[in-house]
A and B are shown apart, each in its own frame.
Chain A
Amino acid sequence: MKGLKGLKTMKIPDNKFLESVKRVEFGTNAMLLSILIGLFVVAGFLSSGFLRIENLFNIARIISLTGIMAVGITYVMLVGEIDLSVGATMSLSAVMGGRFLHLGIGPVLVITFGTGLLLGFINGIGVVKGKVPSLIMTLATLTVYSGLANIVSGGKAVYPYKLPAYLWIGNGNVFGVPFPILVFGALTFLSIFILNYTEFGRWIYYTGANRTASRFSGGRTNRKIITTFLISGVCASMVGPMISGQINRIWSTQGAGYELGAISIAVLGGASLTGGKGTMTGTFIAALIFGGLMNILNLSGVGTYLQDVVKGVLLIFVVGMMHLREKRLKVV
């Protein structure tokens, strides 16, 4: 795989198309950043406890989990597909790892991430080779993986207390910063680099913008698409140990519902369902907005169910706003 193996980087001369795309995306990201700042300012004004360091770290910690998944999903959405199975992937990969706790932390992590890769691969093959629309494919794998998670775990939870390293993934700090936040930040940074400065990244955007043209230009779109599903699967599997490590429990439904948050964040960050549009920066800022909003709801005593309603409504509302904005910017 040319783009991936040598991570061929290049200084790409920007043509007019890319320039216009960059302008739009810069505008979107600027808008997102101002929303973020506005949100935090208002929240800090309304609630004294909001801007406290512990609360901010809490927000970051919690949203990093969904955020890592959102990073993976952003790749998939950039090529014009969707992955609804990320929650179930997280559950199944975590549970697979949980079966082999006695082998030690190394094998457990290998199995967990390996399962994530495999599950993503299955999605990719189904979409690319089986030509199953990604909506249906990932909807189907969502059920299959959820069922398998239950079968593999036998319906019972496992407790990884004997592996302090595993617990550290969920609980540990590096210089006071919780590990999940670091991973989220690192993945975002890495993705921004990959998407903007490597050949692979460029092809992702081209594939999403116009798959046919991309294929005829020798873009090997099939491999790119499969790769995005691989990335999505691995990102999802990363989150499992972070949750399980923190509360010392691996169970079969731990990923349920995360796909909504991940897709919401990706969409909020500017990723378009038809592909070609979106930045990792946008996803990152969107994650912070999302996390801040959820935190505000929590602090205001809004129940979990109402939060779900908010998530659903927000998703619809945000996409609507994005579309209206696009209509204004587009020169038909």
Chain B
Amino acid sequence: MPDYNWPDADHRTLIGKRISRVDSPVKVSGRAKYTYDYHGANMLFGKVLRSPYAKAKIVSIDTSAAEKLPGVKAVEIIQKPDATAQWAGDEIVAVAAVDESTAEDAVRLIKVKYQPLSYLVSDAEPPAGAGEAAGPMSQDDIDDAISNQIPDAQLAQYLQEHGVTFKVDNDFLKDMEGEGASEAVLAAIRQAPYHEVKAAHHSNYQKTATQTSGDPDKAFAEADVVSEGLYGAPVIVHCCLEPHGSVSEWADKDHLFTHISTQNVSGIAAQMAEPLGVSAANIRIHQDNIGGGFGSKFAADRWDIAAARLSRKAGGKPVRIMLERDAELKVAGARPSAYARVKVAARKDGTITGWQSQSWGTGGPGGGGMPPIPYVFGIPNQRKEHTAIRNNIGPARAWRAPNHPQAAVISMGALDDLAAKLNMDPLDLWLKNLEIAGPRRDVYREELAVAADLMGWKEKWRPRGQNVSGNVARGLGLSIHTWGGRGHASDCDLTIHPDGSVDIKMGTQDLGTGTRTTIVIVAAETLGIPIEAINLYIGDTLYPPSGGSGGSTTPGGVSSSTRRAAVDAREALFGKVAPALNAQPEDLECVNRTVRVKSDPSRSLDWKQACAKMGAMPLTARGHNDQVAGNNHPDLTNSGVGGVGMADVEVDTETGIVKVKKMVAVQDCGLIIDLKTAESSCYGALTMGISYALFEEKVMDQATGRMLNPNMEFYRLAGLNDIPELVVHMMTGKGYDERGVIGLGEPPVISPGAAIANAVANAIGARVSFLPITPDKVLAALNQRKAGA
């Protein structure tokens, strides 16, 4: 049995070092090709007519004038009369024309009659008593819940308690599996009791969770201190710089070729097959590079199906539909909001004894679920109630660490307010309660110590509102977080050629997280050759399937499948080379571009000579990582990380402007393959965190039902000058490396918002309840504090 285990520290020459991203040169030179850059011969340009109303019944559609416009090659009605557009920007008709301006002209010639319906685009606190009791789930409800990444246990419990409104069949289960439903959720759907009738949703409000554990009444009655507060984070959008979209072309009536901007190369064909009536085996998906996804690009979207249909109507010519910036921000995904009124009970010494929350939020038409609150800390006595708001703001999609940043803002905010009420340094409160911080409590202890040191917490920290000089208030805040990150299913083909060249083929994708770099480091380390010697091919369904890049599952998946393929290929090579070295295959090793005898390194062949012993035929090994841990022998990946975020902010109490002065991230993720890109993930996460903490919000106009800021001027992203000193420390060495590889995309983005919110509270002595912490909210909080004082 070959030894797949990761090499130990003494035998790693590449793994864990700082290695430059292998695709940097093509990116900085402008040579990297993205879906948006693909320009097929005779390509047609697709444009989409979108609903101007937040909710409207489509009465009639007249496309005749558009069809007659010279240059228009195909028209595709996406939603027919009698359908109801569910948000402003919902797709109605798509057209394809010889150039973009003609397509735009054609869209303007389409006449649609709408019957506007009443809508809701607010996610304000539900009125008292609002909210239908929980009921059984329809297919759409389940679909929405999975899209919103409602935690598995929550969804499974709900299905068990409330059942479903339809007879579950295998097709539905297969669809849900394709959407990413876990085994646990699929089992829960299969076993859910059937309830015949479920009236259409009449209310926009639904109580989706009511949970009690322990004895909260007793805990609050006996508490020395009860802290109350209001916390939350609004709907934000992904704002991928490369918008969603694709270019589709038909080679013949049965064979489709689609270039698509996706986080899910291997999973797209199956989604397109049914709506297009063609077998998934006949759909080829390709993507070289993706300009951002952040969780929003797993699906073949309606506009992608429309592009393929337009292409078919136009005789197979390539049709490109890439979303315009406004559409990208309106319809291509949003992070659900979450708000909560929280009460926390504690003893004088800081021991937390009780939690009570009424939370609400929206993920658009699907409503959404309760974020995992209280976050990280398993507070013993709890009462929680969550109301989901179904509204017409557009659909939610997974956004880096779905539900966790919101949970952190609410929970870490509530605990920070408790610390203030107890006159405790929050760092001490966190440390005091680590016993209830779950399986990673010892990791948090280590990480908090490192983070406090890097921040200079003990030297800098002052009680609330007591670090003020003139109109400048300074403050510190912290938060901790957790995530899974086990490797997904992944297949890797590694081929060694007789001339010594090596290629790897895998249907994965590199989101800018360093996936390519991870794969070649693992292969080069295993074969003892430089990373430049490996030709890597990813991003195509011609290659073995590998999971979608979401939930921090990619590093574990691709590193494990690559390691297995490389070890098997190496063993096969040893078999061919051993006679020439007068040794047994198991006595050989690959080191420093040679194949040599372990006990006598002087007996060696350089890599090329060794490969020449293969004869004429190359050899290929297939490595597989199974997403079920127990099926991997040995398991090279793992699940469950901690992580700490700390913020140091400066608030101008006259203008209300918050300036982040320093951020610290301390993060574990098991065995790190490339330290350089791992750190970059954390720097990026801190930056995104500053952005959503201070600037980002999808602002809806109550009067028209439309998004008010669907552009990059008023949907503000952090800029170069908003980013201060960022300090990242990765936990490595004993206790971490031997755990195997764990993904990193999600965890470090969770804490920054909560840490910044807490730092602002520490600076100004008042809580700004909801992100983003804009100057108007800071001034309002200061005024409220003055009025209360």
| A and B interact | no
Chain A positions near chain B (C-beta within 8 angstroms): none
